[in-house]
Chains A and B, each alone.
Chain A
Amino acid sequence: MSNPDLPAARARLLAQVEEAARVIAPLWPLATFVAVNPLWDLRHLSFDDAIANAARVLDIDGYPSEILFAQAYADRRITDADLRAALGELSAITADSPRRLRGGDCEQENPENTAGARDGTCKESCSSGKVMTPTERHDYVFDSALAASVDREVAKWCGAYLASILPERGTGGFYAAWRSMVVRDPSARGLVGKAGRDRLGGYGSQPEDAILTCLDLLDITEEERVAQIARQFARMPGWAGHAKWRSRWASAASNGPALHMLDYLAVRYCYEAELLRAARTCKSKRYRLRGLALASRSGLRDKRPERGKLLPGRKEWFDVVDVPDDLREDLSSLSSTEAARATLSAYETNYRDQLLAALNRPAAGPPARSEACLQAQAVFCIDARSEGLRRHLERAGPYETFGFAGFFALPIRYRAFGSTDLIDLCPVLIRPNSELDEMPSAGAELAASRQLAGAQGLSAASGALRAARKGAVSPFILAEATGFFAGPIAAAKTLAPARFEAVRRWILRMLAPPAPTVIAVDLGDKAMSDEEQALFSEAALVAMGLTRNFAPVVLLCGHGSTTENNPYGSSLDCGACGGNTGGTSARAAAAIFNRPIVRRLLADRGICIPESTFFVAGEHDTTTDRVTIFDPHLLPPAHRDAIRELEVALRYAGNALAAERVSHLSGARHTDPVAQVVARSADWAQVQPEWGLARNAAFIVAPRDVTAGVNLSGRCFLHSYDADLDPSGTALEMILTAPMIVAHWISAQYYFSSVDPEVFSSGDKTVHNIVAGIGVIQGAGGDLKVGLPLQSLFDAGLCYHEPMRLLTIVQAPQPLLDAVIARNQILRELFDGRWVHLVARDHGCDAWKVRDPHGAWTNWTPAWSKAKEPITCG
Chain B
Amino acid sequence: MDEAWGLTRMTKVEVVVGGEDVPVVTELFSEVGARGYTAISNVSGLGHSGYHQGRLLFNDRSVLTILTVVLPAERATALLDGLRSLLANRSGVLLVSDTWVSRPEYFQ
Contacts and interface: CB of A to CB of B under 8 A. Distances in A.
A427 B31 contact: no
Contact of B79 (A11, A16, A18, A426): A11
B31 A10 contact: yes
A8 B82 contact: yes
Interface residue range, chain B: 35 or more
Interface string A213-225: 0000000000000
A14 B27 contact: yes
Given A16-B85, A823-B50, 17 more contacts: A8-B77, A11-B79, A12-B81, A14-B24, A14-B86, A15-B86, A44-B90, A208-B31, A248-B20, A248-B23, A248-B24, A430-B60, A734-B56, A738-B56, A824-B56, A824-B62, A828-B50
B56 A733 contact: yes
Interface in A676-732: 730
A825 B50 contact: yes
B35 interface: no
Nearest to A411: B58
Contacts of B97: none
B102 interface: no
A825 B52 contact: yes
A425 interface: no
A7 B28 contact: no
A7 B86 contact: no
Contacts of B49: 825
Given A14-B27, A822-B50, A737 B82 contact: no
Interface residues of A, number: 36
Of listed B23, B78, B89, B90, residue having the most chain A CB within 10 A: B78
A11 B58 contact: no
Given A539-B57, A734-B56, A823-B51, A11 B62 contact: no
Contacts of A405: 58
Contacts of B88: 19
A446 B52 CA distance: 55
Nearest to A407: B58
A15 B85 contact: yes
B75 interface: yes
Interface in B29-52: 31-33, 49-52
A825 B53 CA distance: 8
Interface in B52-93: 52-53, 56-62, 75, 77-79, 81-83, 85-86, 88-91
Interface string A526-545: 00000000000001000000
A423 to B, nearest CB: 18
Interface of B: 18, 20-21, 23-24, 27-28, 31-33, 49-53, 56-62, 75, 77-79, 81-83, 85-86, 88-91
A14 B59 contact: no
B52 A823 contact: yes
Kindly list the 3 A-B residue pairs having the minimum CB-CB distance in the complex, ordered from nearest: A11-B82, A738-B58, A7-B78
B83 A7 contact: no
17 contacts: A7-B75, A7-B78, A10-B78, A10-B82, A11-B32, A11-B78, A14-B31, A15-B24, A19-B89, A19-B90, A44-B90, A430-B58, A430-B59, A539-B57, A738-B56, A825-B52, A825-B62
A825 B90 CA distance: 12
Contact of A826 (B21, B62, B89): B62
Contacts of A7: 31-33, 75, 78
Contacts of B61: 429
Of listed B53, B89, B90, residue having the most chain A CB within 10 A: B53
Nearest to B56: A737
A431 interface: yes
Contact of A11 (B28, B60, B89): B28
Contacts of A825: 18, 49-50, 52, 62, 91
Interface string A404-418: 010001010000000
Residues of B contacting A: mostly: mixed
Contacts of B86: 14-15, 18-19
A788 interface: no
A14 B58 contact: no
A738 B57 contact: yes
A8 B59 contact: no
Contacts of B83: 11, 15
Contacts of B50: 822-823, 825, 828
B44 to A, nearest CB: 8
Contacts of B23: 247-248
B24 A18 contact: yes
Nearest to B89: A19
A192 interface: no
Interface in A115-163: none
A838 interface: no
A826 B56 CA distance: 11
A541 to B, nearest CB: 13
Nearest to A539: B57
Nearest to B49: A825
A741 B91 CA distance: 20
Contacts of B31: 7, 10-11, 14, 208
Contact of A733 (B21, B33, B51, B53): B53
Contacts of A18: 21, 24, 86
Nearest to B18: A825
Contacts of A208: 31
Contacts of B90: 19, 44
A819 B62 CA distance: 17
A739 B89 CA distance: 28
Contacts of B28: 11, 14-15
Contacts of B56: 733-734, 737-738, 824
Interface string A14-27: 11101100000000
A7 B75 CA distance: 8
B100 to A, nearest CB: 23
Nearest to A252: B23
B53 A734 contact: no
Nearest to A17: B24
Contacts of B53: 733, 823-824
